[in-house]
Structure formats: structure tokens, C-alpha cells
Amino acid sequence: MKYIKVFGVLWLLVGILILSQTRTALSAVSQSPASAAKTPSAAVQGGWEKRWEETLAAAKKEGEVEIYLNAPTDTRIALADAFSKKFGLKLNVMIASGRDLEAKIISEHRSGINQVDVFMPGATSTVNAKKQGILAPIEPMLILPEVRDPKAWFNGKLPFFDKDGMVVAYLLLRNPDIFYNTDLIKEGEITSYLDLLQPQWKGKMVMYNPAVSGAALSGSYFLALEWGSNEKVYDYIVSLIKQQETIIAQDMRQQVEWTARGKYPVSLWPQLPATSQFLKAGAHIAAASLKEKGRATSSNGALGMPAKAPHPNAAIVFLNWFLSHEGQTVAVKAIGAGSARVDVPPEGVHPMYVPRASEKYHFEIEENIRQRPQYQEGLKKVLSQIK
């Protein structure tokens, strides 16, 4: 009887041991890569959350973000209010043209000054800053899953403008090239660039300076792609200036204001921030529908992240928030242009800036910007010969 009891106890212990090993094996199977691929583990799900909380905590110690922005002036208030309310961080915004912001950041970089966290001048100026070695790769800074998800973006991929992933094109819009005063000009009177060479438009046009970075340089370059010749566009611009007495504007706001007031009822290649601002104010201006293929670009909606940001964690918080559904919704309403996010409707965006299924477009890419300096130098040389 004594041996039977001992034997029974031994079998009980063996059973417990087998059960324990079985549970351990099942647990190991449940944590195998194949299983984890089907059902993301809590550790995987919580990885970004931990990093986000750590980044946010560090950002709060830094307290503020400095950004250089090319957008309508109202954007400063809209972004600062929404961002500060969300995170308790101060957003300091300097607004200027892409050309001025580009010159400023390059000058600061060469002087060893690092005072901007997020650089938002537009695609051309951001690419030029990249060439100077100012920017850092952006993808490692993207934390929020909704920002990293390719399905959230146009064409199912993160909206990088360049192959190096240092420039994000967060806007996508139809970029009209000719605006007119609707009190003085009827719809359909201008249907082609060539129409502007007709006698009735002499002395009635203002053009943004095409020799400097901006909408005129970009617009005229794409016209050269459309016509298949740089020289044809050079001759066209010379004719506008000499034959048609077109005024060259250096201030993007003044150009659109002149058209809105009827001083020069036709604007060629105006900047989007200015046209958007005047349209919001109720100015009587409209974009001409042209026979030539249009442009679909990010316009002023591109950004880069300086490698030596003074507030690196706060900059990352702003970047992730700005590229989220919430941030892009604020931006779209304030800037007046559509987002590259497919889940952000163009609410408040003027219909003329929304790409149309019935139209064909040239889509701007970094390669265009790389080729543009040669076009620009040729144009400068031609314009310098005008007396």
C-alpha cells in the first residue's frame, strides 16, 4: 500500500511537469514569427506608442518649435492655435516667400546658425536646401501609424518628392497659371497662352519674375515641356515684355492685388498663397481654362527637416501632427489647397485648385527641379538682353 501511494505521487508530479512543459511550448508557438504576423503583439503595437510618449515628453522640455513657412498669413494663426491646444507647445512661425526663406536658411547654414526646426518653403526651395546639406532623412522621424501608412497617401505611397526621402510634398493641387479680373474680362476670352500675344492685352498684364525661384519659373519651365522647346518659351516671354509691355512683379501679393483692383487685369504665373488669400477675401478673380496641359504640383506645400534642429523632439512632434489627418485638415482649410492625404477632403478649397478628371497634367517631380537651373540660366541670359 505504501509503494502504491508513492507510485501515485510520482505519476502526479510527472503529470504536472508534462502539463507545464506543454503550456510553455504552446506559449512559444503563440509568440513565433508566423503567429505574430497574423496578430500583432502588444509589444509591436506599443512600440510606436512608447517612442511617441518619450518624444512628446522631451518636446515639452524644449517647449517650442520654429518653422519657416510659405503660406497665406492666416495659416500662422490656424496652425499655432491648433498645435498649441493639442500639445501645449508654442509654435513660432515666420512667413515669407519660398525664395526668401531659401536664401535665409542657406545663409544661416553657411554662418553656422541653426534656428529653424521645420523648413516649409515649397518643393523647389526645399530641394535647393537639400543640395546644401541642410536637411535630414524624414522617414525615421515618422512615428504615428496613420502617417506611416502608405494607403493614407495619394498613389498609395509616402509623399516623398525626392528619391532620398528628405522632401515631403504634403499638398497636391491643380496649379492655374493665368488669372484675370472677372469684372473686366469674361470667361473664355483667354483660352491659351498664345492669346496673350493679341493686341487687346497690351499693357494689361503683370507677370511674376520668371528668372527667380517661384511660380513663374516653374510655370514657364512646364510650358517649355509642353511646347518641347526652351527657346520658344524664351521668345514668348520676351514678346510679352517688349511687345505687350507686361509688367514684371517682384512681390507676389502685389501682383495679385493689381489684378484684383483692375490695374493689370491679367496675371501670369501668380503665386498660390497670394491668389488663395485674395479668393478667400472675395476678390473678383478667376483662373483661365487653357488648351495647354495643366500643372499638378505641391506648389508651396513641401517641407524638409533640418539636420541640426534646435528643438529636435518638438520638431518631430510637429511633423507627425502636421502630416496626420488632423494636422492636414487644419492645413487644407488655412492654405486653401488640397492635401496629398486621401482621407482629407478639399473642404474650403476653391474648385479651381482641385485636379479635374477631364484635364491632363504635368506632375512635378524632383527631376524637373534638377533640370530647371539650366532652363533658368538660359532665361536669365535672354532677359538680360532686353532694353
Q: What is the mean pLDDT of residues 354-378?
A: 85
- Of the chain, the percentage scoring pLDDT greater than 90 comes to 70
Closest CA to 302 of 176, 159, 194: 159
Q: What is the mean pLDDT of residues 153-179?
A: 93
Q: Which residue has the higher pLDDT, 135 or 252?
A: 135
Question: Which pLDDT score, from 0 to 100, does residue 352 have?
Answer: 83
Between strands 305-306 and 135-136, the pairing is: antiparallel
Of the pLDDT bands very low, low, confident and very high (cuts 50, 70, 90), residue 351 is: confident
Q: Exposed, middle or buried, 382 (CB in 10 Å: 0-12/13-18/19+)?
A: middle
Residue pLDDT, tens place only, 93-125: 999 999 999 999 999 999 999 999 999 999 989
Residue pLDDT, tens place only, 288-326: 999 999 888 888 899 999 999 999 999 999 999 999 999
Angle at 358 between CA 353 and CA 364, to 5 degrees: 55
H or E, element range at 169: strand 168-169
The answer for residues whose C-beta is within 8 angstroms of residue 227's C-beta and 6 or more apart is: 233
Q: What is the mean pLDDT of residues 82-91?
A: 98
Q: How far apart are CA 228 and CA 226, in angstroms?
A: 6
**Domains, the chain, ranges and CATH?**
46-172+299-355 (3.40.190.10), 174-297+367-384 (3.40.190.10)
Q: What is the mean pLDDT of residues 20-41?
A: 32
Question: Which pLDDT score, from 0 to 100, does residue 38 have?
Answer: 31
Closest CA to 139 of 168, 114, 105: 168
- Most confident of the ranges 177-181, 217-221, 356-360: 177-181
H or E, element range at 215: helix 215-227
- DSSP of 27-92, one letter per residue? HHHHTSHHHHHHS--HHHHHHHHHHHHHHHHHHHHH-EEEEEE-S-THHHHHHHHHHHHHHS-EEE
- Whether this prediction's pTM lies above 0.75 is answered by no
Question: Which pLDDT score, from 0 to 100, does residue 244 have?
Answer: 98
Q: How far apart are CA 131 and CA 251, in angstroms?
A: 26
- DSSP of 311-354, one letter per residue? SHHHHHHHHHHHTSHHHHHHHHHHHTS-BSBTTS--TT--GGGS
pLDDT at 366 over 80: yes
